[in-house]
Structure 1
Amino acid sequence: MTFGPPDHISDLDTLPRMPVWVTSARAETLEDVAFLSGAALNHLHLVLGRAEVPQALLRDRIALRAAEACLAFSGRSERAGELRDAVHLLRPGDLPGPAGETYLHWRRSVEWPVSIKALDRALPTIEPGQIAAWLDAGKGARVCRGVMVLETVLTEAPRTDVAALILADTAIAQALGWDHLVPLLAAGLKRADLRKRGDDLRFACHRALISSAVEAVRLSTELARRAAHLKAVAPKLRAKGAGEAVDMFLTRDAVAPSALPLPDRAARRLCDRLVELGAVRELTGRDTFRLYGV
């Protein structure tokens, strides 16, 4: 596989920016916040349709934020670095622990196109029939479907915050015609919001979607630039297997050198070279057990 620099790297600046009136408006009523969340989701829909945006990488990074939020809801303190360690430094036979499991639920939920089978992989402790039944609870307008799924799951299974939020995001993705789930609700909600019902929950979810869509658009622009740079420097890499390694960096939030399709020493050299070229970053700040990402 070969890569070349984008024909017009400056074209990345043409990615549509979220209108200021969406980010600065203060919604006081359910009608107002619903209008703004619709505008924000429509704008995100346009950005997600752009070829410059590394979609799998974007979803994987947003999944990390969703996992952080869910752990905070349950009173745990693990942050992004600890979650990356829990998953990416696992050895065969190791268990990821509760925090790592939460992160894996979210990572698996965004990895495959939306389907009951894919959700069963992400939520293996829930019967596929139950997953389908909860998704069927979503009726009405697009965001309302997600809110109804969230409320139904939280009411019937109060201790399943992660599953409830994954299925609610799934309902919204299906309503918007997206092939993959994009985690949006968890990072924008507060712990107290999960106890709300009816219009109060709808208001909180619309508000969460606005803030998360704004952040997703910002992150899309950032990752599009960084991905373009990685593709531009890829021809300078001499190591055998470098093309496959670049593909991994373009689809994963973090990569351990041991996961790359190269011998250990060659993998570490490749990562160091990519850091020198400004194409990836070392994410841990450690001298050993390092992780790298775009």
Structure 2
Amino acid sequence: MTFARLDQINDLDTLPRMPAWVTSARPETLEDVAFLSGAALNHLHLVLGHDEVPQALLRDRLALRAAEACVAFSGRPERAGELRDAVYLLRPGDLPGPAGETCLAWRRAVERPLSIKALGRALPSVEPGQIAAWLDVGKGAPVTRAAMVLEAVLRVAPRADVAALILADAALAQALGRDHVVPLLALCLKRADLRKQGDDVRLACHRALVSSVVEAVRLAADLAQRAAHLKAVAPKLRAKGAGEAIEMFLTRDAVAPSALPLPDRAARRLCDRLVDLGAVRELTGRDTFRLYGV
């Protein structure tokens, strides 16, 4: 690693840190919790403004965590490892199953710029007009808008937890002026919170956001460090197509060797080389059907 690259990685320590008072306070009133969630969201905005943070990778990994939470809400046993298998080892013509569908919905919701069309791709069973109508329900401040959308969707479709949470995060992103959905609400809302109404659901959303932003900021800092290291070792890779492979690792939660733009054997060698260099990790612990990620 060159000294320039090492300095670049060390500079990531300058990413703004969450003020301790945001997480140490124990507020009870809606007004106090709203103040803290606003401070947390502002801090996240500052972190996401740093070029070192791999935005697409962060969104994809948060999408996996949101999907894991939604699957748990439904009472299913699948966790991150099974969700990765259901999505990244999917072959043409295969069905991903209910848990896999949830993971695909979240991944599709975050991978393209926020629009009704992009949300319709994530939620193909919901008419675009209905998506637009639900998003228009949200009024007022960002978190209030998100809570109103969450409540409106679940009032009409009580079992549509995934659609409700995706659209609530979309409403939040719209209100904050973001061009992509960043999964936040699903990470820390409880299942019982989804059945609340009015001020109760707003309070639950504010509280969840304080916790989920802390998680998102920590993940952003970690991925920024890992992405910088991956870029630093990239010049050591001589395989044809290695540059495109690096870009895939920088934008996806997980990558199967078969998805890389190299012959099978060369792809496996590249993955093993990146593991040896400490630039990516093998995520499954298996000897076959492996998946790799930053």
TM bucket by the smaller chain?
A: over 0.9
The alpha-carbon deviation at position 77 of structure 1 amounts to 1.2
Rounded to whole Å, the distance in 1 between the matches of 2:5 and 2:129 is 47
What is the distance in 2 between the residues matched to 1:142 and 1:219? 23
Output aligned runs, 1:28-67, within 5 Å. 28-67=28-67
Structure-2 residue corresponding to 1:125: 125
Unaligned residue ranges in structure 1 (runs of 5+): none
Give the AA of the match of 2:44: L
**Residues 240-279 of structure 1: pairs in structure 2 closer than 5 A:** 240-279=240-279
Q: Which amino acid aligns with 1:186?
A: A
**Aligned position for 1:70:** 70
Deviation at 1:7, TM superposition (A): 5.3
Q: Which amino acid aligns with 1:115?
A: S
Counterpart of 1:136 in structure 2 is 136
Residue 175 of structure 2: aligned partner: 175
Cα drift, residue 159 of structure 1: 1.2
Work out whether 1:110 is the aligned partner of 2:110: yes
Shift of 1:5: 3.2
Q: Give the aligned CA root-mean-square deviation in angstroms.
A: 0.9
1:10 and 2:34 aligned: no
**1:161 aligned partner:** 161
C-alpha distance in structure 2 between counterparts of 1:91 and 1:69, whole Å: 25
Indicate how the Cα distance of structure 1 residues 113 and 6 shifts in structure 2: closer, same or farther if over 3 A, else same.
farther
Offset, 1:96: 0.3
CA distance in 2 between partners of 1:67 and 1:231 (Å):
29
Which residue of 1 is the match for residue 237 of structure 2?
A: 237
Structure of higher RCO (CA pairs closer than 8 Å, 6+ residues apart) = 1
Contact map agreement 1:5 1:233 (CA 8 A) in 2: no
Partner of 1:207: 207
TM-score scaled by structure 1? 0.98
In 2: Cα distance, 1:253 partner to 1:93 partner = 23
Mapped contact 1:147–1:202 kept (Cα < 8 A): yes
C-alpha distance in structure 1 between counterparts of 2:11 and 2:279, whole Å: 19
Aligned position for 1:224? 224
State the alpha-carbon separation in 2 of the partners of residues 254 and 98 from structure 1. 20
Aligned length: 291
Distance in 2 (alpha carbons) for counterparts of 1:89 and 1:152:
35
> In the TM superposition, what is the alpha-carbon distance from 1:8 to its structure 2 partner?
2.5
Q: CA separation in 2, counterparts of 1:52 and 1:7?
A: 13
* CA distance in structure 1 between the aligned counterparts of 2:250 and 2:287, rounded to whole angstroms: 24
CA–CA distance in 2 between the matches of 1:264 and 1:25? 52
Partners of 2:8 and 2:228 within 8 A in 1: no
**Paired residue secondary structure (1:251):** coil
What is the identity percentage for the equivalent residue pairs of Structure 1 and Structure 2?
A: 84
Unaligned runs of 5+ in 2: none
AA partner of residue 139 (structure 1) = K
